[in-house]
Amino acid sequence: MNVDGVGEESITDFLLWKWASIDKRFRSINVSSFTRQEESKVSGADFEMEVWLVGKGLVYPLVFQAKKFIKQYDAYVNKLNYPKNTKNQMNTLLGYASSNKRIPFYAFYSIPDKKTTAMCRHNDVFDCGVFMAHAKVIEQFADGKHGRKVSKNDLLKVSNPFHCMFCCPIAFQGYFETYFPSIDGELDIKEIPAYVSYLLDVHENEVSEEKVKNFIKEHELGQFRHVAVYDMRELEESPNK
């Protein structure tokens, strides 16, 4: 709010850095640092981040587009139809998710106020600056189904705080199916890619730059700014751990 020039890319960098610093089950690579994309207001990557939540029984492959929405009203319908009201950015996200069996989300970097509510009524939204909403739900806003004048709180109402998926009592027992029922059959993941297995098992100080570059090329990961993996195999067995 106080540093208007800080864009989504820098906020995402900070978010993933803090996540890694508090939980060693989390691993990530900054793809842009390997592909040498120059950071600018519009990143060379199509998507902000791909996050794999990997359990023994279920795998949740999430792909995110990020938006910094601070003001109560700020032409949000137009911004969701970026660029120039073509909706190309959103269509790219939805198309990629559909073709690659990923779950498409928007990450809203925002500041709640006294009127802010989220889908989870038991969570204190005032201690949160990152919200996530299913892209297919947000598409309805882009298409004008909720009118042309949409507020920040209208969008946050169909989202949940990002951290909810870890601290919710049903975090590893149907969280996504409960709060994001529109994911349909997007959870039918039989095998995880080699780069996900590698990040799960390699020690953070032993990540091979050569292997990572090969993974980026082979799996076309250059379209992401970040690729992250969270190992929830033990947590899935014992949610109270």
CA-nearest of 158, 69, 142 to 112 is 69
pLDDT tens, position by position, 59-112: 899 999 999 999 999 999 999 999 999 999 999 999 999 899 899 999 999 999
pLDDT tens, position by position, 25-47: 999 999 988 876 444 444 457 99
CA 153 to CA 59: how far, in whole Å?
Answer: 30
Furthest C-alpha separation in the chain:
51
How sure is the predictor about 173, in pLDDT bands with cuts at 50, 70 and 90?
confident
Say how many Å lie between the first and final Cα of the chain, rounded.
35
What tokens appear for 122 in the block? 């038991």
Domain boundaries in the chain? 8-237
CA 191 to CA 158: how far, in whole Å?
Answer: 30
Q: Contact 228/49 with Cβ under 8 angstroms?
A: yes
CA-nearest of 197, 203, 195, 201 to 226 is 195
CA 216 to CA 144: how far, in whole Å?
Answer: 37
What tokens appear for 126 in the block? 């005032």
Mean pLDDT of 136-144: 97
